[in-house]
Amino acid sequence: MPTLHDESPQGRRIAAIALGKRGGAGAVAALRTALAREEVAWVRPSMILALGKIGGDEARAALAEIDARSDAETEALRKARDRVSGPAVGFSWRGDAPVFAAVPVGLEDVAIAEAGRATFVRRGIIALPSRPRGLRCIYDLRILIAEGDPRAFAETVKRAEVRWREWIHSESDVLPYRFSLENARVTKQEFNDLLRLARETFSPQGLVDSPSSYAAMLRVEADADATRIWLVPTFEADERFAYRVNDVGASINPVVAACLARLVRRGDRSGVVDPTCGSGTLLIERALLDGGTMLSGIDISPTAIRAATGNVIAAGLAARIAVRLGDGGDAAAWPTQCDEVLANLPFGMRTEDRNLDGLYRRIVGNIARTLNPGGRALLYTTHAKTVVALLRRTAKLQVIEERRVETGGVSVGLWVVERG
Ligand SMILES: C[S@@+](CC[C@H](N)C(=O)[O-])C[C@H]1O[C@@H](n2cnc3c(N)ncnc32)[C@H](O)[C@@H]1O
């Protein structure tokens, strides 16, 4: 087994890599000593990377002392320091400048209604006159850095000027970022070239590529009509959905759930049912809208009911939301009446979901039977044909709205119906 004192440079390199993987007492000190006497340019980066791999305060201190002697060493140092750095701290928003927000495609109007003075920009993007607080119907807040021709990634990056200090205060006066290219298929080489160009362009502007510990995402998005570069600050913890301590496979995105809860809302004292509640996201988002609502959830899966129970408790809503194991198609599982129904129906990917048409028919029957006059139900599923056919046959329920929502790469149908 080669050692850090090996006569052959290749042996010393192999020993450094192995030590980086193994770590343990004395590993950092040994690498530090070896690096001090190592003269072979292609061995030194492996020793630096090994220090990064070991991590911890001692490795961080050792890495801080190193002055890079070559490009390869600079790159290794960047990676290693990135690895040992802690969470990004020392950042805050500066003022309340106008910003954009990413929102669910198909639900932009709901996000605008929640925000107040916001405007539609394009699918999935709204503009806000000043930085908002606490909105539930947005994915993120973002700043537009540059726009260019479709697929003109390099040209758009080259021309970009990131005046991030107008929005963000940084104690260190630099902004660590994580680079990403979205919606574009490129080779690894093309991606690396673009990343290198981004580093060269943005480094003089006070931006540091730091993929493990960053305060903002720098996203190059390949839209059909343009290439856009967004700065998406991430230094503020997003506590909005902290109640989601448990998840089920088919959980709805909580931002989408917050939008759907607003679409079905009839009043501040509604009785609400979710007949296929999963982890309870829709119920919780609806309950958070109005303190006078009482809500019940049903799910056929014990795992889902356990998840929902945990989430409801974490949200502090156990007094108003009751969830129970049952069949949402079974009339006996429903309350005798309700004002609102929120149903994110199973899409049919799981074993319990066989005979979906039958389940949908029974759930729509339960909605028609229990919904109070003037009450509203929202159905959310990819099975458009089944829903459309059922609603056509259900005279008591009038479709007042139908739309498609894009989420997680899937297009989902949404119907809001009202009991006449
Ligand atoms: C799309 S998921 C709902 C996800 C939920 N909105 C969330 O955020 O977690 C559909 C749920 O329907 C449940 N399900 C399937 N068949 C059911 C039935 N007959 N009665 C009640 N729930 C059922 C599944 O267990 C699953 O949790």
- Tens-digit pLDDT profile for residues 161-211: 999 999 999 999 999 999 999 999 999 999 999 999 999 999 999 999 998
User: Counting beta carbons within 10 angstroms of the beta carbon of residue 16, is it exposed (0 to 12), middle (13 to 18) or buried (19 or more)?
Assistant: buried
- Angstrom CA distances, 132 to 25, 93, 117, 136, stand at 49, 11, 10, 11
Q: Is the pLDDT of residue 331 over 80?
A: yes
Are both 263 and 405 inside the same structural domain? yes
Asked if pLDDT for residue 39 goes beyond 60, the answer is yes
Residues 260, 406 within the same domain: yes
pLDDT, residue 237, reads 86
Question: Encoding tokens for residue 184?
Answer: 């574009």
Residue 2 domain-assigned?
no
Strand locations in 275-370 (E): 294-299, 321-325, 338-344
170, 261: one domain: no
Same structural domain, 409 and 367: yes
Q: What is the percent of the chain where pLDDT is above 70?
A: 99
Listed residue (57, 46, 55, 41) closest to 16, CA to CA? 46
Task: Specify the residue with its C-alpha closest to ligand 1, atom 7.
Answer: 251
- Torsion angles phi and psi, residue 45, rounded to 5: -60, -35
Cβ atoms of 305 and 329 closer than 8 Å: no
Which residues contact residue 344 at a Cβ distance below 8 angstroms, ignoring those fewer than 6 apart?
250, 252, 257, 260, 274, 276, 278, 282, 380, 381
For residue 359 and ligand 1, the question of a CB distance below 6 A is answered with yes
Residue 51's contacts (CB-CB under 8 Å, 6 or more residues apart) are: 20, 28, 31, 32, 35, 59, 62, 63, 80, 84
Which amino acid, 313?
A: I
Assess whether 56 and 113 both reside in one domain. Answer: no
Alpha carbon separation from 362 to 171, 204, 334 (Å, rounded): 59, 63, 11
Q: Is 249 inside any structural domain? A: no
Check pocket membership of 285 for ligand 1, CB cut-off 6 A: no
pLDDT score at 352: 56
Beta-sheet strands, E only, within 140-226:
140-148, 168-170, 175-182, 207-209, 216-222
Same domain assignment for residues 149 and 277: no
**Does 299 sit in the ligand 1 pocket, CB within 6 Å?**
yes
Mean pLDDT for 249-253 is 91
pLDDT value for 350: 61
Q: Could you tell me if 268 and 115 are in contact, meaning their C-beta atoms sit under 8 angstroms apart?
A: no
What is the rounded CA–CA span in Å between residue 267 and residue 255? 21
pTM to 2 decimal places: 0.84
Residue 393 lies in a domain: yes
- Which pLDDT score, from 0 to 100, does residue 77 have? 86
Whether pLDDT at 349 is above 70: no
- Whether 207 and 262 map to the same domain: the answer is no
Residue 342 in this model has a pLDDT that exceeds 80: yes
Q: Give me the pLDDT at residue 270, please.
A: 98
Q: What's the whole-number mean pLDDT along residues 272-276?
A: 98
| Mean predicted confidence (pLDDT) in 298-322 | 97
Q: What is the mean pLDDT of residues 52-64?
A: 88
> For 160-280, where are the alpha helices, taking DSSP H only?
188-202, 254-264
Same domain membership, residue 355 and residue 279: yes
| Residue 148 banded pLDDT, cuts 50, 70, 90 | very high
Co-location of 264 and 403 in the same domain: yes
Structure tokens of 242? 């902290």
With respect to residue 196, please indicate whether it lies within any of the assigned structural domains: yes
Q: Is the CB of 254 under 6 A from ligand 1?
A: no
Domain encompassing residue 186: 91-233
- Where a domain ends, among 34, 55, 84? 84
Dist. CA 345–CA 413, nearest whole Å:
11
At residue 420 the predicted structure's pLDDT band, cuts being 50, 70 and 90, is confident
CATH number at residue 293: 3.40.50.150
Mutation probe of ligand 1 site: the residue of 256, 286, 299 with most atoms within 8 A of C-beta: 299
Q: Probe ligand 1: pick from 246, 274, 285, 300, max atoms within 8 Å of CB?
A: 300
Q: Residues 396-401: what's their mean pLDDT?
A: 97
What integer is the mean pLDDT of 29-34? 94
Evaluate whether residue 245 is within a structural domain: no
Looking at the structure, tell me whether residues 262 and 124 fall in a common domain: no
Ligand 1 atom closest to 381 (CA)? 1
Q: How remote is the CA of residue 234 from the centroid of ligand 1, in Å?
A: 32
Q: Is residue 241 part of a domain?
A: no
Tell whether 295 and 364 lie within a shared domain: yes
Query: What residues does 105 pair with on adjacent strands?
Result: 406
Distance between first and last Cα of the chain: 81
Q: Where is the domain boundary, 27, 53, 84?
A: 84
DSSP 8-state code for residue 127: E
Looking at the predicted structure, is the pLDDT value of residue 79 above 90? no
Cα Rg for the chain, rounded, in angstroms? Answer: 27
Residue with the larger pLDDT of the pair 89 and 88: 89
* pLDDT confidence of residue 408: 83
pLDDT at 82 over 80: no
Does residue 291 have a pLDDT over 60?
Answer: yes
Average pLDDT over residues 114-142: 96
Contact criterion met (CB below 8 Å) for 335 and 271: yes
How many Cα neighbours within 13 Å face the side chain of 415?
20
Determine the pLDDT at residue 353: 57
What is the residue type of 114? E
385 and 417 Cβ atoms separated by less than 8 Å: no
Is 301 near ligand 1, meaning CB less than 6 Å away?
yes
For residue 125, the CA-to-ligand 1 centroid distance in Å is 30
Q: State yes or no: pLDDT of 281 exceeds 80.
A: yes
**Is residue 371 domain-resident?**
yes
Determine which of 85-94, 231-240, 245-254 has the lowest per-residue pLDDT on average.
85-94
Mean per-residue pLDDT, 141-146: 96
User: Is the distance from the beta carbon of residue 328 to the nearest atom of ligand 1 less than 6 Å?
Assistant: yes
Same domain as 405, residue 267:
yes
User: What is the structure's pLDDT at 76?
Assistant: 86
Answer whether residue 275 is part of any domain.
yes
User: Using a 6 Å cutoff on CB, does residue 309 contact ligand 1?
Assistant: no
Residue holding tokens 């079974």?
330
Least confident of 146-160, 200-214, 327-341: 200-214
* Mean pLDDT within 134-158: 96
Number of domains in the chain: 3
Q: Is 157 in the pocket of ligand 1 (CB under 6 A)?
A: no
Residue 335's pLDDT band, with cuts at 50, 70 and 90, is very high
- Measured from the CB, is residue 352 less than 6 Å from ligand 1? yes
If one compares 377 and 88, the residue with the highest pLDDT of the two is 377
Of 53, 84, 115, which closes a domain? 84
